[in-house]
Amino acid sequence: MHSQTRPSPEGEEWMTGAEALLRCLLAEGVDCVFGYPGGNALYIYDAMTGNPAFKHLLTRHEQGAVHAADGYARSTGKTGVCIATSGPGATNLVTGIATAYMDSVPMVVITANVPTTVMGTDAFQEADIVSITMPITKHSYFVRDVRDLPRIVREAFLVAGSGRKGPVLIDIPKDVSNDRLLYRPVEGEIRLRGYDAAPACDPAAVDELLEAVAESERPVIIAGGGAVYADAAPELMAFAERHRVPVATTLLGLGGFASSHELWLGMPGHHGAYAANMAIQNADLLISIGSRFDDRVTMKLDGFAPKARRIAHIDIDPAEIGKNVRADIACVGDIKAVLKLALQPAKPSLPRTAAWLAELQRFRSAHPFRYQDSETELKPQFVIEMIHETTAGEAIVTTDVGQHQMWTAQFYKFNHPRSLITSGGMGTMGFGFPSAIGAQLGNPDRLVVSINGDGGMQMCAQEMAICAIHNIPVKIVVINNRVLGMVKQQQELMYERRYSQIDLAGSPDFVKLAEAYGIKGLRASTKAEARRIWEEALNTPAPVLVEFTVPTDENVYPMVLGGTTLDQMLLGDVGE
C-alpha cells in the first residue's frame, strides 16, 4: 500500500519519494505522463493509485511511451514526460531519447533502477542507464537522496525546456522512491551555476547582419526547427517581408514559414525543391535561422552555397556556429529575441531583391514538385495531396520515416508551426504513430493525421490498443507499397538495382489488424476508393486506420545523390 501523508507542524507534508515525484510533476503543469511499469518502478505506480489528479497513459511498449511524449512536446511546446522501469524498460527508451536529442525536443525521462543496496552486483534488471544515455541527453540525474528529488525535478524541467531544448533523464533507485522526506515545494527562480540558457545576442552582430542584408541582391534564408521551437514564426515572416528575402524551410522547419506565402521556396536538400536548392547555390548572402546545416540539407559540403560572399548564422547554441559551414556573421541567442532586435530599427528597408525573386519564381514555375499521375494506379503523391486538400492544411500531421515522409514534406502544405511532427536527425522508424497519440492528447481539439509506411507501422502497431481503449481519434494512414521504399530507391539508383532485404511480403492485413484492436479499418487502391474512404475516415469521431495500396516502384524526386551538390538534382522521369 502507498503510504499516507501527514502534515508537519509547519504545514509541510511527510511522504514517500514516489509521492513527492508525482506532486512535483503536477506542480510543473504536467497533464499526461506516458509509461510502462515494472518491478523497480512499482512504488511510483503505487503512488498513482492514491493521486487521482495524476494522469498516466499505459502504452504497449516503452518505445511507444517515449515517442508519444516526444509528439506531445513537439506539438504543444511543453515538456513531454515518460516513465519506465529499470533494465530493459529503461534501455527500450534509448532510441526515443536519441530521437528527441537530435531534434532538440524538451522531455523529462524518468527511469526506475534497482535498490542502491544491490547496485553494482548485476542485480536482476540492473542497467546503468545514466551512462548509457549520457551522450544523448542534455543532462542526467541519479537520485541518491530522496530529499534532493523536488530540486532535481524542478531543475530537470528548467534544463529540458530552456536554451537549446532536449531530453533530461532522472534515474531513481527503488529504495529511494520509497524513502520518506518532508516535502516542501521548490519555489522561486532556479539558477544553475554554469548554465546560461539563453545568452543575449550581441547588438553589433545584428547590425552587421542588417548591413549584409542591405547590400545583398540575392539573399536567401534557411529556416530550421530552431525557428519553430523558439515560437519565432511571426518575427521570421516580418523579417523576410521587410527585406524581401525568400525563405527555404528545412524538414523540421516546415510550417515555421507559411507555405502559402509568396516568399516561400520550399524545402531544400536531398529531396528538396528545385527553387530552394538553386537559391542556395546562387545566393550572395545565406542566412541560417535555427538550422544546423545538416548533411541532408547541404549535401556535398565543399560545393555548398559557392557564390555566397557572406554566411550568417542565428542560433541559440554557440556550438552550432561554424560547426559544419563557416559563419561570417554569428548571432548567438534566442531566435525570437534576435529577430525582434533585428526588426527594431525604424529606418525603412530598401530591398534590392526584385530581379532575384523573379528569377526564383521562374525556377518554381519550371520545376514544381510533380509526378506522373495514373487513372489505373493509386499514386502516393495523390494521396498526400488529397489529405492536404480535405484538411485545408490545418491538421497536425505526423510521419514515420521513408518515402512517405518525403512525399508528405513535398505535397502537404504546412501553414502553421508545430503542425508537422517527424523524426529529422535520427530518422527513427516506429516514431510516426506513437507521436501522433501524444500530439492528439496534447491537442484534443485538433485533427491529427499519422502518415506511415508499411514498414514503420509494424514497429509500433501495438499502440492501436490504447487508441481504441481511450478513443483517441487519430486518423492512421498506411502508405503500403509492400517494400522498404527508401532503401529500395537507394539500391536502385546507387547500387545498380542490387536489391537486398527490402521485400515486406508477409506483412499483415492492416485492415484486419486494426479491427483486431477494435479500430475501424478501411482500404483503397483507386482514386475513387481513396476519396470515398478518406471522407468516411474524416467523418468518423474515433480512431480509423486507412490503408492506401500504392505501386512498389514509385520513387521520390527530386533527389540529390550523396557526394553531389544541390544543383546536381535528379528530377526523375517527370522532370525536364
Per-residue pLDDT, averaged over 227-241, amounts to 98
Question: pLDDT (tens digit, 9 = 90+) per residue, 494-542?
Answer: 999 999 999 999 999 999 999 999 999 999 999 999 999 999 999 999 9
CATH number for region 203-366: 3.40.50.1220
Per-residue pLDDT of 373-406, as tens digits, reads: 999 999 999 999 999 999 999 999 999 999 999 9
Q: Tens of pLDDT along 477-491?
A: 999 999 999 999 999
Listed by start position, the domains of the chain span: 13-183, 203-366, 380-557
Q: Above 50 in pLDDT, residue 9?
A: no
Whether residue 5 is predicted with pLDDT greater than 50 in this model: the reply is: no
So what's the pLDDT on residue 196? 85
- The confidence score (pLDDT) of residue 575 equals 46
Q: Which pLDDT score, from 0 to 100, does residue 350 have?
A: 87
The residues that are catalytic are 62, 124-125, 174, 486
Q: For 244-280, what is each residue's pLDDT tens digit?
A: 999 999 999 999 999 999 999 999 999 999 999 999 9
Q: Is 415 exposed, middle or buried (0-12, 13-18, 19+ CB in 10 A)?
A: middle
Q: Which CATH superfamily is domain 13-183 in?
A: Thiamin diphosphate (ThDP)-binding fold, Pyr/PP domains (3.40.50.970)
Q: Is the dihedral of CA 86, 89, 91, 95 positive or negative?
A: negative
Q: Read off the pLDDT of residues 540-572 as tens digits, 9 standing for 90 and up.
A: 999 999 999 999 999 999 999 999 999 999 998
Across the chain, mean pLDDT equals 95
**How much is the pLDDT for 10?**
55
- Supply the pTM of this predicted model: 0.95
Q: With contact defined as beta carbons under 8 Å apart, do 74 and 254 qualify?
A: no
Domain 380-557 in the same topology as domain 13-183: yes
To the nearest whole percent, how much of the chain has pLDDT over 70? Answer: 97
pLDDT per residue as tens digits for the range 441-486? 999 999 999 999 999 999 999 999 999 999 999 999 999 999 999 9
What's the rounded Cα separation, in Å, for the pair 569 and 576?
Answer: 11
Per-residue pLDDT tens for 310-351?
999 999 999 999 999 999 999 999 999 999 999 998 767 889
Torsion of CA 437, 442, 445, 448, to 10 degrees: -30
Burial of 71 from C-beta contacts in 10 A (0-12 / 13-18 / 19+): buried
Q: What percent of the chain has pLDDT over 90?
A: 93
Residue 187's pLDDT band (boundaries 50, 70, 90)?
confident
Q: Bridge partners of 266?
A: 248
Mean pLDDT in residue range 63-88: 98
Count H helices and E strands in the chain, helices first.
23, 21
Mean pLDDT of the 132-140 span: 97
Which CATH class, in words, describes the domain spanning 380-557? alpha beta
